């Protein structure tokens, strides 16, 4: 990193820290900003309320123009349309003529004024805004109702206004014209808003927000930002990758990671930067270790720190130096074991301090903060896996920095992840059982006492509320009292089936609310018998339907305010075993009422047996028989496990004197546990991909690396292709299958709802139809009169159908088995307009619609009741409250099976693809390796066919090809060797040049010929350049340029070398290549010097013979004529005459000379036929030299040296003449005297050497070169044939003669004759 | 000064209540309230169960809904006390048997968003090894 950016980053971080530090010391008021002006803010809120009111009126008025009204969303009405419950047209009596959605009932005074107006109403847990427009020309009015507060919507009227209006101000908007006493705090600005015309008044309470909160937030954010910047700077700015290669670096890295983690923990930065679910202990968290494990985000950061420390250690221990050292191995083992123990401990902490839903097999835990918890654990596991895998890599000597090293890490992690997931699930089951024993068992065993206590607490709470002068109890509508106090009572919080009733001073009922208990017709009081202080609890019988006998706990107490009696409160609670708050039966309705009782551990089932083992109550459809096993488990505190129908259950047994209780939960099947473990594993693998592979991919050239890794290996390519072709469709198929099953389950649920509605419809029609039997008596007819549809009847119907039932008349509920939901405002009293039209007006036999209940979408089936007057438009509705859970469980189970099957199949496909690819690729790799071996010259390489398929054919073909190649190679080598031998031994010079003129081939003769001339020729050299500057090769250059030579015509030229001029003949042959182009030239150089000389000698010999013949023929007549002339002249007496005699003598003498010349010519031309005989060369030379010993010219010293030498085969006479010739020449070369050395020796066994040496005048080089040429002589007399004849004689004896001479140095002849073998 | 004295008195009350656990559930509830007002999250530890879970439904103090371990609930309340504060704790009702106590109290608080609110807490306490521990804590609005 460059120094300048480092300085900048450090400066930035320091600046933010400084800013954060300053923020801690400045007063809160500086950071809180100027407090808003309450008056102006109140004005703004009132204006916003006016606008909102106008928009709401506009929506309502639209219905008067056309129905259904065109409700186009705009920024001004968007929030209103989201809260719109329904809209409709009513007549002057308040009866809805047509409606859309489920609009609220018209207020009692809805028609008392004209013009637009609005009301804010509270009904049960729902408050709504009802807006009226009209009337129109026909006197109709339109009503629209908007939800202000409900289970689905919160915030009240305030939530409908622009939120910036409430910044820095505590604002309360409360319907009403007056405040409850004691509710207005000091410093509060109070106003009353009312729309123009007439509307419910709204009290505005405005108060400045608490001081210091904004300041705290600013400080927290600044510190968090500084921590974030510091972390980023340290993480990315210091080059840790290279730094951790040394001991000092690893200490720095680990220190930095731990310091940063502690800094983040100390400052609580995640709290300020992340969503609450991630940064709070809501899902997981403990404060036993500071903030290290305080939340999912903290766990993630701790896991990340652990992972980074492990990775840094791994890098350090992966260096070649560390790999070589023995101590590194022990460090690795120690850190791996230590890390594993630490992670195991972490897993236990997570399992112990998490919500049960953390790793619920059915939960989609990959979509929320649970993913952070999982990721924290996974990172810690990855850290351990990376250390443990390094041990494996050391054994296999794999480079840890390569991609291939990821495989052992992945395998180690997979094993650890699966083990962890199963351990977590086991801990979850243990936690469930512990919760049953610790939390639920007392609720079961002390259930009656607890119900009594809840009843007492409820009564006490109501009495206290009425007695409290600051309480707002009396400001409520008395009709709302029962719900208002029940919903916040110990009975409601306990989830008990219970009721609350209020009576006035005349003991007339004022208000009733019952949760799963109907309103009882009973007397209260008398007043004077009511206890003043503590309420007494009575047990009273209760028969919800005639066939069922149950008991209630009943308590009634007076209400007083300021010591004055105000009324009576009566509370009931069902005192039966099924009235336990944690049982699933009531959960949906409890949740709808705002008392969430969803148990994350799953549905708790409960069975209670009497002393005889008979089930008294059970949430199971078919409870198991009590065989004594459960009682034994209760005594020994052992877990019970059994199967009931399709469900596997696990739980505890609790024994009482006369009862036995079973608390049970669904026992996750192995398949479900496996699915949970696989989900954990898959998430882990995804994280592994992100932390280990993704950075490599994102690095420069990373994709190319992967691409080349894939392209570089046929096996990898094959695996990738097979995986894409198999796993991707598999995943797609499983997703489609899962979607199909979910859709199918939804349809099944709808069908089921229709069948339930059909059953309820038939029962209702049968019960409400007038029964007319022929001959029936009047009293019988009265007894069989149609049943009036009431809540009580629907309670009975619920028992028969198994689902709750509501009945609507003209679109409004008239009876329900769950009346409390309508009383509490949880369900709208008016049926949805579309459903009403479809069923009641358009005559659809049945319809399924979906309704929201406590955030859950339930299918509700509707059917008309046709046995009553059609004008009443009666409709029965059956909501499927219980079935969705069962179906969802089934769908979840199938989804788990699909997940497990998909993952296992995918794993199987991966293994199969890898094996198959290896099987296919291995022969190819062997082929490639074998091909490389053959290319390297190993022609004996053979492959073994391990299969019988096409690959075997390929292997056989390869082997045949290898054999053929070997044969061809052998043949080629033989030919090459032959040609090489030819070239090596050819007396002709052979060289070839390529088209560029470079020498390609050069045999020794050519090298010798050209090198001797001074040219530096070698293979690869440019021939033209090599001969360019060599004068001796001028002839060659000319010949190379000669166009005729290029056509193959022989060209002769002379070449000068050390031995004198040579005559060479050159032939240039173009070498044809492919496509008719010449690839070079073959040049043949033949030394024809000897041939030329031989030819010359032969010509000369022929000429000598002809001359001898032509000369000899006239000589005899001339000699005879001269002798005859001498005789005639003598006879005639002319003679003696000196002059004539001298003439005749000259003629005869010259003829004799001519005879001698002719004889020499003849001798030269025609060598005598040799008659060789073995002779001792020394003896031969002694005899030859014999005449000279006595007649050696004066001044010449004769020195003879004869060694013992082998005999030679010689023609004594012929060789003697040759030797004498040499001796004569030597004597003549020493006119002034000298020394003549004659020697015989045998320098080696094969030859005998005869030496004739003089130290005379010597020969100049030209003379020496031509010494043996015929007719060449330096003397004025003689034929010049002496040495030529001597040469021919010696060569005729298979011998050679060499001459070594220099001017003034004498001349030395050496005759070498082959020695005879002994 | 008066604020410091009142806080010290509350802390002393909390410590006294913590020492005398097992005597009456009311003392435990008072100690719980005192610890909240004091912002002393560690003071809450003594009234959290060592086994089983606490059923929790908190809105302003959380938000949180579910069954939590004691340590987890402690962390939740400490989270709240670090970013919000409890101004007042007023016990309104307590009824108890030998093993179970039900109580309700009114809290004045400033939540994590800096908004003032009055809420009601409904507490359920059980006897665990001679000390009263929280088993359920539910919050409802006034």
Look at A210 and B114 and tell me if their CB atoms are within 8 Å. yes
Contact between A35 and A252 under an 8 Å Cβ cutoff? The reply is no
Contact between A764 and A876 under an 8 Å Cβ cutoff? The reply is yes
Residues of A in contact with B126 (CB under 8 A): 442
Contact between A81 and A68 under an 8 Å Cβ cutoff? The reply is no
In this predicted structure, what is the pLDDT of residue A377? Answer: 92
CA–CA dist A257, A262 (Å, integer) = 9
Residues 6+ apart with CB under 8 A from A1046: A1068, A1070, A1081
CA–CA dist A18, A288 (Å, integer) = 31
Residues of A in contact with B129 (CB under 8 A): none
CA–CA dist B55, B123 (Å, integer) = 10
Look at A286 and B71 and tell me if their CB atoms are within 8 Å. yes
Contact between A223 and A269 under an 8 Å Cβ cutoff? The reply is yes
Say yes or no to pLDDT of A1075 above 70: no
Question: Is B88 touching A (CB cutoff 8 A)?
Answer: no
Q: What is the maximum alpha-carbon separation in chain B?
A: 42
Count contacts between A and B (CB, < 8 Å). Answer: 134
Say yes or no to pLDDT of A1158 above 70: yes
CA–CA dist A561, A1199 (Å, integer) = 173
Say yes or no to pLDDT of B23 above 70: no
Q: How many percent of chain A have pLDDT more than 90? A: 24
Q: From the CA of B75, how many Å to the nearest CA of chain A? A: 5
Tell me the pLDDT band of A1249, cut-offs 50, 70 and 90: very high
Contact between A1100 and A1271 under an 8 Å Cβ cutoff? The reply is yes
Give me the residues of B, 50-69, that contact A with CB < 8 A: 51-53, 55, 57, 62-69
When pLDDT is averaged across residues A365-382 and rounded to a whole number, the result is 83
When pLDDT is averaged across residues A190-215 and rounded to a whole number, the result is 85
Q: Calculate ∠ Cα A684-A690-A694, nearest 5°.
A: 145
In this predicted structure, what is the pLDDT of residue A720? Answer: 85
Select from A974, A877, A856 the least CA-distant residue to A590.
A856
In this predicted structure, what is the pLDDT of residue B19? Answer: 44
CA distances to A748, A936, A971, A974, A981 from A977, in Å: 90, 20, 10, 5, 6
Put residue A256 in one of left, alpha, beta given phi > 0 → left and psi -120 to 50 → alpha.
alpha
Contact between A278 and A323 under an 8 Å Cβ cutoff? The reply is no
Tell me the pLDDT band of A917, cut-offs 50, 70 and 90: confident
In this predicted structure, what is the pLDDT of residue A1124? Answer: 85
Put residue A335 in one of left, alpha, beta given phi > 0 → left and psi -120 to 50 → alpha.
alpha
In this predicted structure, what is the pLDDT of residue A1132? Answer: 83
> What digits encode the pLDDT tens for the residues A34-53?
778 899 999 999 999 999 99
> What digits encode the pLDDT tens for the residues A697-736?
777 777 777 777 777 778 888 888 888 888 888 889 888 9
Select from A172, A174, A210, A213 the least CA-distant residue to A41.
A172
In this predicted structure, what is the pLDDT of residue B17? Answer: 46
User: In this structure, what token pair is assigned to residue A893?
Assistant: 């189970």
Look at A281 and B76 and tell me if their CB atoms are within 8 Å. yes
CA A1040: distance to chain centroid?
68
Look at A280 and B78 and tell me if their CB atoms are within 8 Å. no
Where would I find the beta strands (DSSP E) of A865-1005? 874-879, 989-994, 999-1002
In this predicted structure, what is the pLDDT of residue A400? Answer: 63
Q: Which of A353, A435, A457 sits opposite B95 (nearest CB)?
A: A457
In this predicted structure, what is the pLDDT of residue A777? Answer: 59
Q: Which of B43, B65, B93, B110 to mutate to test the interface with A (most CBs of A within 10 A)?
A: B93
Hey, how many other C-beta atoms are within 10 angstroms of the C-beta on A1189?
10
In this predicted structure, what is the pLDDT of residue A33? Answer: 77
Q: Which of A187, A207, A281 to mutate to test the interface with B (most CBs of B within 10 A)?
A: A281
| A68 prior amide bond cis, ω within 30 | yes
Contact between A124 and A110 under an 8 Å Cβ cutoff? The reply is no
In this predicted structure, what is the pLDDT of residue B60? Answer: 87
When pLDDT is averaged across residues A172-199 and rounded to a whole number, the result is 80
Look at A460 and B72 and tell me if their CB atoms are within 8 Å. no
The CB-side HSE value for A693 (13 A sphere, CA atoms) comes to 17
> What digits encode the pLDDT tens for the residues A383-419?
999 888 888 776 666 666 666 778 888 899 999 999 9
Residues of B in contact with A214 (CB under 8 A): 114
Quick check: helix, strand or coil at residue A425? helix
Is residue A587 classed exposed, middle or buried when 0-12, 13-18 and 19+ CB atoms within 10 A define those classes?
buried
In this predicted structure, what is the pLDDT of residue A181? Answer: 66
Contact between A285 and A293 under an 8 Å Cβ cutoff? The reply is yes
CA–CA dist A850, A829 (Å, integer) = 16
In this predicted structure, what is the pLDDT of residue A472? Answer: 61
> What digits encode the pLDDT tens for the residues A1264-1309?
878 888 777 777 666 777 888 888 888 888 899 999 988 888 999 9
Say yes or no to pLDDT of A779 above 70: no
CA–CA dist A217, A349 (Å, integer) = 31
Say yes or no to pLDDT of A964 above 60: yes
Indicate the Cα dihedral angle A471, A474, A479, A481, nearest 10°. Answer: 30
CA–CA dist A119, A104 (Å, integer) = 11
CA–CA dist A722, A726 (Å, integer) = 6
Alpha helical stretches, state H, A1066-1211: 1089-1131, 1138-1165, 1177-1191
Contact between B112 and B94 under an 8 Å Cβ cutoff? The reply is no
CATH T-level fold of B2-141: Nuclear Transport Factor 2; Chain: A, (3.10.450)
Say yes or no to pLDDT of A1204 above 80: yes
User: What DSSP letter does each residue of A88-145 carry, written as one string?
Assistant: EEE-TTS-EEEEEE-PPPPPTTTTSS-S-EEEEEEETTEEEEEEEE---TTS-EEEEE
Tell me the pLDDT band of B22, cut-offs 50, 70 and 90: very low
Residues 6+ apart with CB under 8 A from A361: A425, A668, A672, A673, A675, A676, A896
CA A1282: distance to chain centroid?
101
Contact between B125 and B28 under an 8 Å Cβ cutoff? The reply is yes
Residues of B in contact with A286 (CB under 8 A): 69, 71-72, 74-75
Task: Tell me, letter by letter, the H, E, C secondary structure of A565-629.
Answer: EEEEEEEEEECCCCCCCCCHHHHHHHHHCCCCCCCCCCCEEEEEECCCCCEEEECCCCCCCCCCH
Q: Which of A170, A357, A456 sits opposite B116 (nearest CB)?
A: A170
> What digits encode the pLDDT tens for the residues A796-838?
898 888 888 999 999 999 999 988 888 888 888 999 999 999 9
Look at A601 and B55 and tell me if their CB atoms are within 8 Å. no
Q: Which of B74, B83, B116 sits opposite A210 (nearest CB)?
A: B116
Give first-to-last CA distance, chain A, whole Å: 94
Contact between A1066 and A990 under an 8 Å Cβ cutoff? The reply is no
CA A851: distance to chain centroid?
44
Select from A1103, A1106, A1036 the least CA-distant residue to A1068.
A1036
Select from B68, B65, B61 the least CA-distant residue to B41.
B61
Say yes or no to pLDDT of A528 above 80: no
Is residue B98 classed exposed, middle or buried when 0-12, 13-18 and 19+ CB atoms within 10 A define those classes?
exposed
> What digits encode the pLDDT tens for the residues A1161-1172?
777 777 667 888
Say yes or no to pLDDT of A1150 above 60: yes
């Amino acid at each position: 990193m460059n120094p300048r950016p480092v300085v900048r980053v450090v400066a930035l971080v320091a600046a933010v820290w400084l800013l954060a530090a300053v923020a801690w010391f400045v007063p809160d008021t500086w950071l809180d900003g100027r407090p808003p002006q309450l008056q102006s803010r109140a004005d703004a809120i009132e204006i916003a309320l006016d606008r909102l009111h106008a928009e709401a009126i506009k929506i309502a008025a639209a219905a008067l123009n056309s129905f259904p009204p065109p409700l186009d969303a705009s920024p001004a009405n968007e929030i209103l349309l989201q809260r719109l419950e329904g809209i409709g047209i009513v007549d002057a009596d308040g009866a809805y003529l047509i409606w859309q959605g489920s609009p609220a009932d018209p207020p009692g005074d809805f028609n008392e004024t004209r013009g637009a107006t609005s009301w804010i109403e509270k009904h049960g847990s729902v408050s709504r805004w009802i807006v009226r427009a009209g009337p129109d020309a026909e006197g109709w009015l339109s009503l629209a109702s908007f939800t202000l507060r409900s289970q689905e919507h919160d915030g009240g009227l305030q939530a409908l206004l622009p939120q910036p209006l409430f910044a820095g101000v505590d604002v309360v908007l409360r319907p009403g014209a007056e405040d409850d006493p004691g509710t207005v705090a000091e410093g509060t600005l109070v106003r009353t808003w009312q729309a123009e015309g007439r509307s419910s008044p709204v009290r505005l309470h405005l108060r400045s927000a608490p001081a210091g909160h904004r300041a705290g937030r600013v400080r927290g954010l600044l510190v968090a930002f500084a921590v974030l910047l510091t972390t980023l700077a340290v993480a990315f700015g210091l080059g840790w990758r290279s730094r951790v290669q040394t001991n000092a670096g690893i200490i720095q890295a680990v220190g930095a990671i731990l310091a940063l983690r502690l800094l983040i923990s100390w400052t609580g930065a995640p709290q300020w930067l992340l969503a609450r679910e991630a940064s709070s202990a809501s899902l997981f968290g403990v404060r036993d270790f500071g903030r290290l494990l305080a939340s999912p985000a903290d766990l993630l950061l701790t896991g990340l720190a652990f992972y980074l420390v492990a990775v840094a250690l791994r890098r350090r221990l992966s260096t070649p130096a560390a790999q070589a050292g023995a101590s590194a191995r022990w460090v690795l083992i120690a850190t791996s074991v230590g890390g594993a123990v630490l992670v195991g401990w972490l897993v236990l902490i997570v399992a112990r301090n998490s919500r049960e839903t953390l790793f619920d097999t059915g939960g989609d835990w990959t979509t929320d903060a649970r993913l952070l918890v999982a990721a924290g654990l996974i990172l810690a596991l990855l850290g351990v896996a990376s250390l443990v895998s390094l041990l494996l890599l050391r054994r296999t000597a794999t480079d840890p920095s390569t991609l291939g090293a990821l495989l052992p890490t992945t395998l180690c992690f997979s094993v650890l992840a699966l083990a962890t997931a199963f351990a977590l699930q086991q801990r979850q089951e243990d936690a469930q059982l512990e919760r049953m024993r610790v939390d639920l068992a007392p609720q079961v065993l002390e259930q009656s006492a607890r119900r009594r206590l809840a009843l007492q607490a409820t009564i006490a709470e109501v009495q206290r509320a009425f007695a409290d002068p600051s309480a707002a109890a009396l400001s409520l509508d008395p009709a709302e009292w029962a719900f208002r106090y029940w919903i916040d009572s110990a009975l409601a919080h306990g989830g008990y089936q219970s009721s609350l009733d209020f009576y006035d001073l005349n003991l007339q009922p004022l208000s009733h609310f019952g949760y799963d208990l109907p309103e009882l017709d009973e007397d209260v009081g008398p007043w004077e018998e009511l206890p003043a202080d503590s309420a007494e609890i009575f047990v009273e019988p209760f028969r919800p339907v005639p066939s069922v006998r149950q008991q209630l706990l009943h308590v009634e107490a007076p209400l007083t305010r300021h010591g004055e009696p105000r009324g009576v409160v009566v509370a009931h609670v069902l005192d039966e075993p099924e009235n336990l708050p944690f049982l699933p039966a009531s959960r949906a309705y409890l949740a709808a009422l705002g008392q969430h009782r969803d148990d994350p551990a799953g549905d708790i089932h409960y069975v209670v047996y009497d002393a005889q083992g008979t089930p008294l109550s059970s949430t199971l459809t078919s409870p198991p028989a009590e065989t004594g096993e459960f009682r034994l488990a209760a005594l020994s505190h052992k877990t019970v496990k059994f199967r009931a129908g399709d469900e596997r259950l696990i739980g505890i047994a609790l024994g009482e004197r006369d009862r036995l209780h079973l608390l049970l939960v669904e026992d996750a099947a192995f398949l479900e546990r496996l699915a949970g473990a696989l989900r954990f594993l898959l998430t882990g693998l995804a994280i592994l991909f992100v932390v280990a592979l993704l950075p490599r991919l994102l690095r420069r050239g990373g994709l190319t690396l992967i691409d080349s890794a894939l392209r570089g290996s046929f096996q990898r390519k094959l695996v990738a292709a097979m995986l894409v072709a198999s796993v991707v469709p598999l995943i797609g198929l499983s997703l489609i299958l899962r979607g199909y099953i979910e859709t199918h389950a939804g349809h099944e649920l709808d069908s089921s709802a229709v069948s339930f509605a059909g059953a309820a419809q038939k029962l209702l029609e049968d019960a409400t139809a007038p029964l007319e039997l022929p001959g029936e008596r009047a009293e019988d007819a009265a007894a069989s009169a149609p049943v009036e549809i009431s809540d009580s009847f629907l309670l009975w119907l619920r028992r028969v159908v198994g689902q709750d039932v509501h009945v609507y008349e003209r679109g409004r509920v008239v009876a329900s088995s769950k009346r409390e939901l309508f009383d509490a405002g949880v369900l709208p009293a008016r049926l949805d307009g579309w459903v009403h039209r479809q069923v009641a007006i358009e005559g659809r036999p049945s319809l399924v619609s979906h309704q929201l209940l406590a955030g859950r979408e339930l299918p509700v089936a509707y059917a008309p009741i046709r046995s009553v007057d059609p004008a009443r438009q009666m409709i029965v509705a059956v909501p499927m409250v219980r079935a969705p859970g069962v179906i969802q469980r089934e769908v979840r189970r199938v989804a788990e099976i699909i997940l497990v099957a998909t993952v296992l199949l995918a794993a199987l496909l991966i293994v199969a693809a890898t094996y198959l690819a290896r099987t296919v690729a291995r022969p190819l790799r062997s082929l490639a390796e074998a091909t490389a071996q053959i290319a390297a010259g190993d022609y004996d390489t053979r492959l073994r066919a391990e299969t019988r398929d096409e690959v075997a054919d390929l292997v056989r073909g390869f082997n045949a090809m290898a054999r053929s190649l070997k044969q061809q190679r052998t043949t080629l080598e033989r030919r090459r060797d032959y040609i090489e031998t030819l070239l090596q031994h050819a007396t002709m010079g052979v060289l070839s040049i390529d088209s560029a003129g470079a020498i390609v081939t050069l045999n020794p003769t050519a090298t010798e010929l050209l090198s001797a001339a001074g040219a530096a020729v070698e293979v690869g050299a440019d021939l033209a350049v090599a001969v360019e500057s060599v004068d001796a090769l001028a002839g060659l250059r000319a010949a190379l340029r000669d166009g005729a030579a290029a056509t193959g015509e022989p060209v002769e030229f002379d070449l000068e070398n050390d031995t004198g001029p040579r005559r060479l003949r050159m032939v240039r042959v173009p070498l044809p290549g492919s496509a008719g182009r010449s690839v070079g030239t073959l040049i043949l150089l033949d030394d024809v010097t000897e041939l030329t000389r031989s030819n010359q000698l032969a010509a000369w010999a022929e000429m000598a013979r002809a001359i001898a013949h032509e000369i000899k023929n006239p000589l005899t007549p001339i000699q005879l004529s001269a002798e005859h002339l001498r005789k005639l002249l003598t006879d005639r007496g002319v003679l003696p005459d000196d002059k004539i005699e001298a003439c005749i003598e000259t003629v005869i003498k010259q003829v004799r000379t001519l005879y001698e010349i002719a004889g020499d010519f003849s001798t030269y031309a025609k060598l005598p036929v040799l008659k060789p005989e073995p002779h001792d060369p020394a003896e031969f030379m002694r005899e030859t030299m014999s005449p000279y010993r006595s007649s050696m010219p004066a001044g010449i010293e004769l020195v003879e040296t004869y060694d013992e030498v082998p005999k030679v085969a010689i023609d004594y006479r012929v060789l003697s003449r040759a030797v004498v010739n040499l001796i004569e020449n030597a004597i003549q070369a020493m006119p002034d005297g000298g020394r003549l050395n004659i020697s015989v020796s045998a320098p080696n066994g094969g030859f005998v050497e005869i030496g004739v040496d003089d130290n005379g005048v010597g020969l100049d080089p030209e003379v020496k070169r031509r010494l043996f040429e015929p007719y060449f002589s330096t003397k004025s007399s003689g034929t010049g044939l002496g040495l030529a004849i001597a040469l021919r004689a010696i060569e005729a004896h298979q011998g050679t003669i060499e001459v070594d001479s220099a001017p003034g140095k004498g001349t030395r002849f050496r005759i070498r004759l082959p020695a005879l073998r002994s | 000064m008066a604020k410091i004295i009142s806080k010290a008195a509350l802390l002393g009350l909390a410590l006294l209540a913590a020492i005398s656990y097992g005597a009456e559930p009311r003392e435990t509830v008072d100690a719980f309230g005192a610890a909240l007002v004091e912002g002393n999250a560690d003071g809450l530890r003594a009234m959290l169960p060592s086994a089983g879970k606490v059923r929790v439904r908190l809105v302003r103090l959380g938000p949180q809904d579910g069954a939590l371990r004691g340590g987890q609930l402690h962390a939740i309340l400490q989270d709240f006390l670090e970013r919000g504060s409890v101004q007042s704790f007023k016990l309104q009702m307590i009824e108890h048997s030998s093993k179970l106590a039900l109580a309700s109290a009114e809290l004045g608080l400033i939540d994590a968003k800096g908004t003032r609110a009055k809420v009601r807490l409904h507490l359920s306490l059980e006897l665990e090894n001679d000390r009263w521990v929280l088993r359920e804590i539910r919050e409802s609005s006034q």
